[in-house]
Amino acid sequence: MKFKRLTKEQLEELHGEFINFLATQSITAEEWADIKKNKPEVAEEELDIFSDLIWEGVLSKVNYLENVSADQMHLFELAEKEMKLISVKVMNPGIDLRTKEGFGWFKKNWQSDFVDYLTASKAYTDDKNLDKFKLIEQGAVITKGELYQWFDTILEN
C-alpha cells in the first residue's frame, strides 16, 4: 500500500465509487460478499488498492496545503516541478495562531518584529503525490491557497 487505507467513514462516502471499482474488475456484489467472507485477505487487498487510487486522484489535484501550529504557519504551493513554502513564525508566547484571538493579533501585527518569515522551495522526489501525502501525514490540510497567495503577493513587494 502506497498511502493509507481510507477510514470506514470515507469508504462509506465512496460506496458508489467502490462498486464501480469492483465492477471494473468484474466482481459482482455476490462475489464481493463471498470474498469478504471466505478470503478476507483478498478483500483487504482490494480496499488498499481502492484507497490508493482515491488518494492518487485527490493528491494529483492538490495545489495548496497549510500546516498551522500555535506559533507557526507553513503554507505550501504545490507547483508543477517543486513545492514552495512560506513559513511564518510568531515569537510572542501568548499568541496561538489556531485561535480566533491569536489569528486576530497576527492580522494586526504581521509586520511587527514579533513575526519572522522564511521562503523556500524544494524539488519533488520521484513521486510527487507521495511527497504531498507526507505533508498531510505531518498535519497539513488541503486548502484553496488564499493565505499562501496573500503572503506571496505581500512578500513580493
Angle between helices 15-24 and 40-61 (to 10 degrees): 110
Q: Is residue 133 part of a domain?
A: yes
Average model confidence (pLDDT) across the chain? 93
pLDDT for position 136? 95
Residues 50 and 76 in one domain: no
In the chain, the number of structural domains is 2
Q: Is residue 137 part of a domain?
A: yes
Residues 51 and 87 in one domain: no
Which pTM does this prediction carry? 0.84
Q: Which amino acid is at 122?
A: K
Q: Is residue 56 part of a domain?
A: yes
Q: Residue 18 sits in which domain range?
A: 8-61
Residues 68 and 46 in one domain: no
pLDDT for position 97? 94
> Do 73 and 147 form a contact (C-beta atoms < 8 A)?
yes
Residues 79 and 51 in one domain: no
* Cα distances (Å, whole numbers) of residue 70 to 39, 58, 73, 104, 144: 47, 28, 8, 13, 21
Backbone torsions φ then ψ of 147, nearest 5 degrees: -65, -45
Assigned C-alpha cell, 94: 501568548
User: Does the pLDDT of residue 94 top 90, yes or no?
Assistant: no
pLDDT for position 149? 94
pLDDT for position 25? 87
pLDDT for position 122? 95
Whole-number Å distance between alpha carbons of 62 and 77: 9
Give the single-character DSSP code of 140.
Answer: -
33-91 pLDDT per residue, tens: 999 999 999 999 999 999 999 999 999 999 999 999 999 999 999 999 999 999 999 99
Whole-number Å distance between alpha carbons of 68 and 102: 12
What proportion of the chain, given as a percentage, has pLDDT over 90? 86
* Cα distances (Å, whole numbers) of residue 50 to 12, 45, 88: 13, 9, 37
117-142 pLDDT per residue, tens: 999 999 999 999 999 999 999 999 99
Residues 110 and 126 in one domain: yes
Residues 103 and 73 in one domain: yes
Residues 98 and 137 in one domain: yes
Q: Is residue 3 part of a domain?
A: no
> Do 76 and 65 form a contact (C-beta atoms < 8 A)?
yes
